[in-house]
Amino acid sequence: MRTLRTADMVSGVLLAAMGLLSVLASLKIKGVTGEHLHPRTLPYLLSLVVLITGIILFFNAWRYRGEERIVDWPDREGWKRIAVSLIGIIVYMLLIEPLGFTLSSFLFLFFLIWYLGRYNVLLIILLALATSVVIYFLFIQFLGLTFPVGPLGW
Amino acid sequence: MNILYAFLGSIVGTLVGVLPGIGPTSAIAILLPLTTILPPIPAIIMMAAIYYGAMYGGSTTAIVVNIPGEASSVPTAMDGYQLARQGRGGPALGIAAISSFVAGTLSLVGLTFFAPLLANVALAFGPPEYFALMFMALSLVISLSGKALLKGLIATALGLLVAMIGLDPLTGEARLTFGSVSLMAGINFISVIIGLFAIGEVLVNIERAVAAIYENKIRDWLPTLEDLKHSWGAMWRSSIIGFFLGLLPGCSPAVTTFIAYDAEKKISKRSHLFGHGAIEGVAAAEGANNATCSGGFVPLFSFGIPSGPALAVLLGGFMMYGLQPGPMLFKENPDLVWTVIASMYLGNLILLILNLPLVGLWARIALIPFPILGPMIILFSVIGAYSVRFLMFDVWVALLFGILGYLMRKLGFPLAPMVLATVLAQMLETSLKQSLVLSSGSPLIFFTRPIAAAFMFLAIIMIVWGLWLQFSGRSAQLAADESD
């Protein structure tokens, strides 16, 4: 996956697999016969396009003998930051419904700002608190958007 | 009252657009829910103002911190950032504001004349013409993927396929849902856009450990007369280029700014300065940028077809109000169309008045360190995705597309075709179905009606042209891989 060639080969295979899966799934779409455009026709054709272009992408990359192009992947540290941040985001989304939007947002902001910036903890708490409070008043109180509220009502 | 909303929209739009990592597309997508409490006219005025503001704000980050929030700001950054490093960031921002104003106003005049004219033409459009027009728009976007033509095609097919998930628009059959109830309701394209653009961009910045970005003294604030003299020609030339190219559905600012910048460089007597701090480079890029935006409203208002992802989101906003832009809009809601157009003149003026004195402030906002900004963008993305339908499902979709957007950036897949495809899919399918009903199933209908045939023909030319560009290797400059 280091070079664009390998990456293209991998994505070609993945796309082709996805296209195949989608072709099979579209064949199962029911519909009334006698229509000019069956509900399954477009999904079927598009899946076929994905399948075929995936294969072409793979073979193009396989045949490619030009200058080696390196994909700009992150280094070890970069991967770690991405992974930790993604886990943070996922945990945040899982917490939104049980804890309520405001509290979970506060926790999320606190964690991610701390993790990415390592600022003074007090400063981060203030920042996260201020943001969550402003968002609570702006979006939930003022605009009346129905976000999940936790057991405490916010 | 409407002026107030134009004013508010401009400020908020600029504010969000200034934040590095948020381009106009994500800015509008994120801010759309803010407008939902308003009645249609002020809401749409505010959306349009947000659009202008965000476009302008994007150029600020390009100049001040060399982070073009979207592809269309790349040419601005090339000269603007150099000027900023020479301590002339203020004048660069000033010229950007003035050029945006001049180009915006000029092309609004164009919009005022062209849109009703084209809307009359559009009244004669049946489903086959619409289908052919959208087909052409998609071909144009694909062919502009330059070297990544195949990847552009893949992105388009995937985007269309994603939009097919859910119930068939006519018969209500479940399609590609794999038995999931959540998928029955379909995938909301606002989530797709927020994911691809906002979350994907944040992930890229997280990986690079982008910290605080910039330290520089700003010497002078306002452009000099000489700056104006150098930029004047570039302003109106780029306005014309931007507007007329913007009329083509599918031709986004990402493309026209490059073309206008290139043209200016070719005719300039100081072409050696381009890329090293030529103020007219900033003027050309910003002028074309803004002119294309207004130009893009012509196909949006008269045909209901967005020319790029940002306008696609705007179209989504219209639809949320049950307004389908298109020729009937001029017939049925003329007051709405004209109020919105009038508000755009005002919005442009507001932006100029607002931004010239605030140049210093915007320059400072862009200095918010990324570790604070990134998490906040994620937070706003969650709010944006959630508040479309109030489903956590949409937030998960946004995250998924965020990861996809990250990978697409890394692997050189263009984002714009996917977004446009997702947004247009339903209209495309419906018009195809209606056309086939008209012709009792024969696809020849697209080639026997003159207007439809012309569009199909143009689409084919574009595909051939794209293929030619790909194989002749001249597309490097046009490779708008992150266009919006």
Q: What pLDDT does residue B405 have?
A: 92
- With a CB cutoff of 8 Å and minimum separation 6, the contacts of A76 are none
Residue whose pair of structure tokens reads 């219209």 in the numeric block: B318
Q: What's the rounded mean pLDDT across residues A86-98?
A: 94
Say yes or no: B376 contacts chain A, CB-CB below 8 A.
Answer: yes
* Cβ contact A11–B395 (<8 Å): no
Q: Give just the sign of the alpha carbon dihedral B19, B255, B83, B276.
A: positive
Rg (C-alpha) for chain B, rounded Å, is 21
3-state secondary structure of B175: strand
Distance from CA of A142 to the nearest CA of B (A): 10
pLDDT tens, B213-234? 444 455 566 778 888 888 888 8
pLDDT surpassing 50 at residue B180: yes
* pLDDT number for residue B219: 52
pLDDT value at A105 more than 90 = yes
**Does B64 score more than 70 pLDDT?**
yes
Mean pLDDT of the A25-47 span = 80
CA distance A3 to chain B (A): 10
Chain A within 8 Å of B467 (Cβ-Cβ)? no
Interchain contact, B171 vs A47, CB within 8 Å? no
Beta bridge partners of B174: B167
In degrees and rounded to multiples of 5, residue A136 shows phi and psi of -60, -50
pTM exceeding 0.80: no
**Identity (one letter) of the amino acid at B35?**
T
Residue B483: pLDDT band (50, 70, 90) is very low
Provide the shortest C-alpha distance from residue B444 to chain A (in Å): 13
Q: For B85-94, B133-142, B245-254, which range has the lowest pLDDT when averaged over its residues?
A: B245-254
**A134-148 pLDDT tens trace:** 888 877 776 666 777
Instruction: Say yes or no: B204 contacts chain A, CB-CB below 8 A.
Output: no
pLDDT at A94 (0 to 100): 95
- The answer to whether B74 and B36 are in contact (CB under 8 A) is no
What is the pLDDT confidence band of residue B372, given thresholds at 50, 70 and 90?
confident
Distance CA B460, CA B441 (A): 22
If one compares B336 and A125, the residue with the highest pLDDT of the two is: A125
What is the structure's pLDDT at B480?
A: 37
Q: Which amino acid is at B409?
A: R
Torsion sign, CA atoms B124, B128, B134, B140: negative
For B144-162, write each residue's pLDDT tens digit: 666 678 898 999 999 999 9
Q: What is the pLDDT of residues B435-482, one digit of tens each?
A: 888 888 788 888 888 888 988 998 888 788 777 766 665 433 333 333
B164 touches chain A (CB under 8 A): yes
pLDDT-derived band of residue B132, with 50, 70 and 90 as boundaries? confident
Q: pLDDT grade, residue B66 (50/70/90)?
A: low
Chain B nearest CA to A153, separation (Å): 17
Average the pLDDT over A20-46 and give the result: 82
Confidence class of residue A84 from pLDDT cuts 50, 70 and 90? very high
Helix/strand/coil for B82: helix
Q: Which of B371, B412, B432 sits opposite A113 (nearest CB)?
A: B371
Q: Which of B33 and B439 is assigned the larger pLDDT?
A: B439
* Residues B274, B279: Cα–Cα separation, whole Å: 8
B375 near A CB under 8 A? yes
Please report which helix (H) or strand (E) contains residue B359, including its range.
helix B334-365
The pLDDT value given to residue A144: 63
Q: What is the pLDDT of residues B295-348, one digit of tens each?
A: 888 888 888 888 777 788 888 888 777 777 888 887 888 888 888 888 888 888
Q: What is the pLDDT of residue B293?
A: 84
Q: Which residues of B touch A40 (CB under 8 A)?
A: 175
Q: Across the interface, do B395 and A54 touch by the CB < 8 Å criterion?
A: no
- Helix intervals (H) in B66-88: 74-85
Backbone φ and ψ of A3, nearest 5°: -95, 160
Q: For chains A and B, count residue pairs whose Cβ atoms are closer than 8 Å.
A: 151
Q: CB–CB of B410 and A43 under 8 A?
A: no
| ipTM exceeds 0.90, yes or no | yes
φ, ψ for residue B166, nearest 5 deg: 120, -150
Does B175 sit within 8 Å of A40, measured CB to CB? yes
Q: Determine, for residues B150 and A53 on separate chains, whether the beta-carbon distance falls below 8 Å.
A: yes
A23 to chain B: nearest residue by CA? Answer: B176
Phi, psi of B479 (to 5 degrees): -65, 85
* Residues of chain B with C-beta less than 8 angstroms from the C-beta of A95: none
Do B305 and B133 contact (CB within 8 A), yes or no? yes
Least confident of A88-102, B21-35, B262-276: B21-35
Residue B211: closest CA among chain A residues belongs to which residue?
A: A117
Average pLDDT of B98-112? Answer: 90
Q: HEC profile for chain A?
A: CCEHHHHHHHHHHHHHHHHHHHHHHHHCCCCCCCCCCCCCHHHHHHHHHHHHHHHHHHHHHHHCCCCCCECCCCCHHHHHHHHHHHHHHHHHHHHHHHHCHHHHHHHHHHHHHHHHHCCCHHHHHHHHHHHHHHHHHHHHHHCCCCCCCCCCCC
- Tokens in use for B265? 């460089």
> Is B207–A32 a contact, with Cβ atoms under 8 angstroms apart?
no
DSSP string spanning B216-245? ------S--HHHHHHHHHHHHHHHHHHHHH
